[in-house]
Structure 1
């Protein structure tokens, strides 16, 4: 089975760990809009793709087979010098990107260094910027303010209404999809969206025109994995069904085969099923949360739920 997972950060890492239970043919398509921390510094100073989410995806696919290398890859330098806070893996990816001047080849070569299964691809081969319409930041609760940048959107105390995606040069530069990522989606048997930061890791894939069209046109089974809890900031107060309505608002042409949600996280199963109907999807409820950390998915349990959802 050819599986493609789209996302970023810890949510994508969970999805990739789950897919490893189902298949060896896995492609991760990763967001490239991060502008904070080590990734943001490298993006601004070296004009590179932000490497952090790409590094996490590589570690998720390779870490179980190479635990020491994965630990070193994620290690951050201490101290208070120019290297403070930079992850070793970010530095290696930055070097690969500069030497090879080809993001796809750089990621393929890094995976080869690990001897890892699967493939990691950027959503776009150039950095992107996220722009959001947010309410609740002014005395007038209905006033809409436009904010820009992944960190700003992810941490806003307001309520995000809608996001847009721009190329690195601004609104006049629309995002252009990575060709290999589009091909992977079109050739897949299974495509997963979520879990993860809804506005900054999941929805951006739907705002890249070529990638959006591939997600609409692919013959793969399309599965959405809903977050277990709202994320402070960008999805504060969101119900499970609200995640689906926002997804549909941003990509009304997208049809989904199944929505996977945690039984204990769903307060109103009927309302979740109604929201899924707007996507033409059925709902697979299962106990997919970790017993020791209810805000995170259990990869093995999630893999089982995905398998059941795609066998209907």
Structure 2
């Protein structure tokens, strides 16, 4: 699908949500940068982070795997990165890609260079960068009945309903300089889909990254989830996700919102909410259509192409 000079696109997020957007974006741009949250504190990533003091590699690994070429080479390396050991010992549940990434970090003493080398090995169609230069923690305010309680750690935030606000620890971490530069040079920035509080919102809370998002000449496209999660966004409507975005970054300009009609309870409400951020709403089937809440790479790529090319035939333009 890549034709002519493709746009420079930066995709923000983490985990399976970022993998979905990257799997689509790699089909329509050869100038692609993924900027990945680095707050994971669970599983293999959490163990490596705690033991070695490194950035949690898991979400970075998933982004690299999503960018592997759709060839025997790419599919094999993608499967290797995602492979997890099963044992009765210390290697149990460690992902091979996590160990590979951390080993390169130790050899090169440079997280960005290490990720670039992994990308070269895989033939990745794009670059993967960490959101910040240091491992981050996440705290959240969650409402339980009529009181607020503090939830600490990404793995706990992700499974806690009633989240209202998230914070980073430390509150003013240094951004990855290359990530800031990528946003400043982009034509489009894509935010979401993904775990809204624990993977998407953190990008708006790193001061240098937030400043770049507010001042870049790039246009911003928000991709909404296909369903509310059982934890942090339980009971959320599609419009609620945009309200949370506005609450965390009230001055952020949004140009387009992509949503699957099957995940929108009230189209008029979502269109009005999008319009308050300056955005127009593109309603398009981007799910696989097999009953699972998973994005179809080709359908999502086609939606992004229409947004990037200002093809507005199916974009909601109603007023009210």
Same-fold call, TM > 0.5? yes
- Aligned-residue offset at 1:116: 2.1
How far apart, in 1, do the equivalents of 2:174 and 2:196 lie?
Answer: 21
How far apart, in 2, do the equivalents of 1:11 and 1:271 lie?
Answer: 24
- Aligned-residue offset at 1:193: 0.2
How far apart, in 2, do the equivalents of 1:288 and 1:79 lie?
Answer: 38
- Aligned-residue offset at 1:176: 1.4
How far apart, in 1, do the equivalents of 2:125 and 2:279 lie?
Answer: 30
Match for 2:157 among 146, 153, 158?
Answer: 153
- Aligned-residue offset at 1:102: 0.9
Match for 1:98 among 98, 106, 115?
Answer: 106
* 1:186 and 2:184 correspond: yes
How far apart, in 2, do the equivalents of 1:127 and 1:293 lie?
Answer: 36
How far apart, in 2, do the equivalents of 1:267 and 1:134 lie?
Answer: 24
Contact 2:26 2:126 in 1 (8 A): no
Alignment partner, residue 292 of structure 2: 294
- Aligned-residue offset at 1:41: 0.2
- Aligned-residue offset at 1:294: 3.4
How far apart, in 2, do the equivalents of 1:217 and 1:249 lie?
Answer: 18
How far apart, in 2, do the equivalents of 1:117 and 1:45 lie?
Answer: 31
- Aligned-residue offset at 1:64: 2.2
Give CA-to-partner distance per residue, 1:50-97, whole Å, 9 cap, x none: 000000000000152311111111110111100010000000011011
Contact 1:228 1:294 in 2 (8 A): no
* 1:15 and 2:15 correspond: no
* 1:166 and 2:176 correspond: no
How far apart, in 1, do the equivalents of 2:174 and 2:82 lie?
Answer: 29
| 3-state SS of 1:246 partner | helix
| 3-state SS of 1:260 partner | strand
* 1:276 and 2:271 correspond: no
Alignment partner, residue 41 of structure 2: 35
Q: Report the count of equivalent residues.
A: 302
Alignment partner, residue 62 of structure 2: 56
Moved over 4 A (4+): none
Alignment partner, residue 71 of structure 1: 79
| 3-state SS of 2:67 partner | helix
Relative distance call for 1:207 and 1:135 in structure 2 (3 A) is same
Alignment partner, residue 314 of structure 2: none
Contact 1:258 1:310 in 2 (8 A): no
- Aligned-residue offset at 1:218: 1.1
Alignment partner, residue 129 of structure 1: 137
How far apart, in 2, do the equivalents of 1:73 and 1:296 lie?
Answer: 21
- Aligned-residue offset at 1:281: 0.2
How far apart, in 1, do the equivalents of 2:240 and 2:69 lie?
Answer: 34
| 3-state SS of 1:21 partner | coil
The aligned runs of 1:174-253 (5 Å cut-off) are 174-253=172-251
TM-score by length of 1: 0.95
Contact 1:3 1:188 in 2 (8 A): yes
Contact 2:54 2:135 in 1 (8 A): yes
* 1:306 and 2:314 correspond: no
Contact 2:222 2:257 in 1 (8 A): yes
Question: Any stretches of 5+ residues in structure 1 without a counterpart?
Answer: none
Contact 1:248 1:278 in 2 (8 A): no
How far apart, in 2, do the equivalents of 1:211 and 1:293 lie?
Answer: 36
- Aligned-residue offset at 1:311: 2.5
